[in-house]
Structure 1
Amino acid sequence: MTQARHSHAPAWFDISTPDADRARRFYQEMFDWPVKAIDATYALVGDDDGRPTGGIGQAGPGSPYTGMVTYFRVDDVGTALARAESLGGTRVLEPAETPLGRIAVFADPDGNLVGLQSP
């Protein structure tokens, strides 16, 4: 039996919280993650080699969400976001450029937040 290959593997995770300092300390202690602050509101966390695999950010009054979002690789964020909406998803974070590529976030029909990331 052959195993199916999925092209949309998890690419990044993001934790948005009202107390980013506390969350950084918690996850650093919990998983021994290296944490590198980019600025006062966002820090990258990495794997054992120090490569960033996610981030922890400060959620403010205008933040589109709080909690954890897993980002999945897609060929085109705009196309994937439109597909999610056509299937009953709701746009939460408009497509935006970041140093790691283009991102967006939607809520699935059950309210679960899902991120999209493309180069």
Structure 2
Amino acid sequence: MTPVALCLEELLPYEKAMKYSTFLRTGLVMSTAAVAVLVPYFGLVMAFIGAFLSMTVSLILPCLCYLSIVGDKTTIMQRIVCVFIIVVGVVCVIAGTYSSVAGIIQSVFDT
């Protein structure tokens, strides 16, 4: 929640941002908790988003960008390690996405 809170605090004048920072951050946490309680399958949807986007952004894209930028200047070992990380990332994305989607489908049909 810190990046969201910082962005919202930047919209306020400095004096008010310092004064209302605690209220703003508390409100953000409370609103997130309310959404988590009120939205059905919130945890499963967050698992889906985390499995798909988190692995893509943290494992796959950095290696692909590195190989794209550096290109022919990499050693064979660097390429092997990057390709290995990409493959592990793709496997994690597929397994995590399948698991979360299967959980969502199972939860929907169980009710």
Per the TM superposition, whether the score is higher than 0.5 is no
How does the TM-score come out when normalised to structure 2?
0.20
Structure number with higher strand proportion: 1
How does the TM-score come out when normalised to structure 1?
0.19
Structure with the bigger RCO (C-alpha within 8 Å, sep 6+) is 2
